[in-house]
Homo-oligomer: A and B are copies of this chain.
Amino acid sequence: MITGHVFIATSLDGYIARPDGDIRWLLERDDPREDHGYTAFIADKDAIVMGRGSYDMVATFDTWPYDRPVIVLSRQLADAPVPDRLRGQVRFVDLTPAEAMRALEREGARRVYVDGGRVVQAFLRAGLIADMVVTTVPVLIGAGRPLFGELPHDRDLVLVDSRSFPSGLVQSTYRLPP
């Protein structure tokens, strides 16, 4: 059984990025002296699924930050070649969330990190997320790309843990009962 797992930061008003995708407001408020748990989170994940927006942003970094297979869900990119430096690490595919998870399951993946606003929303709608670590940054940015979107019905969550940091981050872990 393959499961999706979210680890994401949001402004208090629910945005993961500004309308143009900018996340400097987030990076500027990241206190490197605090361990927010990403290393522990990623340690038991077998693969990463993200959308075009996340890929485009991460691709601008000097170094590719992932050491696990990455699938980018994008109709537009699906026919494009993967850049040389990412060959063997990244695949561009035009698949639904369920299709992507079945493909990863056939390859032996069990726990998948699901990242990016629209991809997280699509996986939530498809019932493919087992748990979410949501880190709330103490800032209101007023507009942007929302973490959450429309759902076919209410979704009850179980709070597993909540902790706060001196920087003002509040990190809550929720389980999504099947």
Chain A residues with a Cβ under 8 A of chain B = 12-14, 25, 124, 134, 136, 138-143, 146-159, 162, 164, 168-170, 172, 174
Query: Does the CB pair B154–A150 fall under 8 Å?
Result: no
Residue of B nearest to A162 (CB): B164
User: Considering the chains assembled together, what is the distance between the CA atoms of A12 and B13 in angstroms?
Assistant: 10
A-B contact pairs, 21 of them (CB 8 A): A12-B134, A12-B157, A14-B14, A14-B146, A14-B148, A138-B156, A138-B157, A139-B154, A140-B148, A140-B151, A140-B154, A142-B149, A142-B151, A142-B154, A157-B168, A159-B168, A159-B169, A162-B162, A162-B170, A164-B172, A170-B172
Query: Does the CB pair A158–B168 fall under 8 Å?
Result: yes
User: Considering the chains assembled together, what is the distance between the CA atoms of A152 and B140 in angstroms?
Assistant: 11
Number of copies: 2
CB < 8 Å neighbour of A14 from B13, B162, B169: B13
A138: which B residues are within 8 A, CB to CB? 156-159, 174
Query: Does the CB pair A12–B148 fall under 8 Å?
Result: yes
User: Considering the chains assembled together, what is the distance between the CA atoms of A35 and B152 in angstroms?
Assistant: 32
Q: Known contacts A136-B172, A140-B124, A148-B12: does B159 contact A164 (CB below 8 Å)?
A: yes
Query: Does the CB pair A13–B148 fall under 8 Å?
Result: yes
